A and B are shown apart, each in its own frame.
Chain A
Amino acid sequence: MFDLYVVIFFLWTAIALYLLLGGADFGVGIAELFSNKKNQEQIHKIMYREMGPVWEANHMWLIIVIVILFVGFPQIYSTLSTYLHIPLLIMLLGIIARGTAFTFRHYDAVIDNWHKVYNKIFIYSSFITPFFLGIIAAATVSGTINTEATEFSTAYIWSWLTPFGIALGVFTSCICGYLACSYTISQIENEEEKKYIGKKVKIFLISVILSGGLVFACAGYQNLPLIRWIYGGVVGWAAVLFATLSAIGAFYCIYKNKYSAIRILAGFQVIMILLAVTYGHYPDLVLLKQGSLSLLSGENEPKTIKMLAWALILGSIFILPGVFHLIYSFQKKR
């Protein structure tokens, strides 16, 4: 049983890190998307300076999540990939378009009009990918996946296309933009740049709060017990409390024009939100129309789980120091 908890811990951590690091990467594009032409280039320049070296590593977390799912919980993996085929496909297209456009715009040896094309692809796919990540996350807990459906639209479209899904998609994108801006601003030394990105931080934080409200409204509309999941236990309450305090702290930072702590506050706030929404229905990872798929169902192979737990522990011993050293050394020596 211990092995299984290790695996579940890594699954949650990988999701959290993907949201924090990958999400901030998406946020760069989202911040560019929601700024006028004149400032777009400046944002691009500032943010690339801060994010460049870790780009490749940020998106590996998603692969870790997928690998843990299909090795440890193949039932969950195959159910999700069957009934959420379409949103997964769109998300994948987003990942492909974004990843390649990002690389291309930085490694193209010649700078000309092609960069406008890369840019367009980059900013739109930066928005679409987390939006669909939100839709997928919503679909896993909405109870809309119908494994007995025979009709195409019931089985493969209404499984994910819901108001709650769209609201969570918007919320996820807002979170990404907020993370990107608050990570960057703590690094900036130039006062003018700081002021400009500071405004962005404020707008994204407000949009996170507003879209969060929308998520609750849509959940209520679909009769999802989101409120009970979150406020049903001490952990959920505490997480929401901490998230709210972080948001207040962030507003204070903006008001006082002191940005050094804001990246920690933003990251902490997002982790608390993730904790609040995932803890409520743990250990069920997927809620179907017919029952649920639990992480603790005991259907997984004990030997595989044991090996996976060891692989993850060993892997993190190799990887984590590398990631932190990478982030650290480039911040220090810039």
Chain B
Amino acid sequence: MVQFLVGPEWFYGVDTIFEVFSIIVCFLIAIFAYKTYNLTNQRKYFYFMLSFLLIAASLTFKIIANFVVFYKTVEKSFYGLFIVTYTHSFDFINTVALFLFRFLFLIAFIIILANILNIKDKKIISLLLFFSFLAVIFSTFAYFEFHLTLALIVGFISHYYFKNYSIKKRKSAFLVMMSFMAIFLSQIMFILFILDKGFYALAETLQLIGFLFLLLAYLVILKK
């Protein structure tokens, strides 16, 4: 079964607020990408919209998985010293929600990478998706493999946006670069979670900063 590793207890619920904020940002960008696709009819905007919708969907599943853990904790503290036996349906919801979160999150970033690097070969994209699927399903260390794979993908995306900013020199390009760098760092922090639970809170905060930068980039674009 997929094991959900959670952060410090004082952080329960806070991460959900962060996730809701990120979902709103993703929807704003997806709507803008859709409008652009509607006007230009270029597929790259459609794929961009799709990737941000997938991020929003995956974060929704993360909230569901978080909620199950949060509910268990509240129930545990309510019953005090009594041992509470949880129903299998809760574990099932947690497992499915967590799988969907990881899988959709990976797919979303793979689509972004394929889109910006102009990878059109479906065989290569299928292979990437297949290995991602393996990483989140069959691995014994699914948690670490997921964040390690994601760190690698977001690392490549960050490198691309660094080069993009070096050429374009735009404020919005800088903000986009910073957002993906923050998301990349957040994945490293998620990996370091094994050392201390506090890294989870740091990782979530960095991820939030990443989406905050995306929102700022979006606002700069809208001002034009």
Do A and B interact with each other, yes or no? no
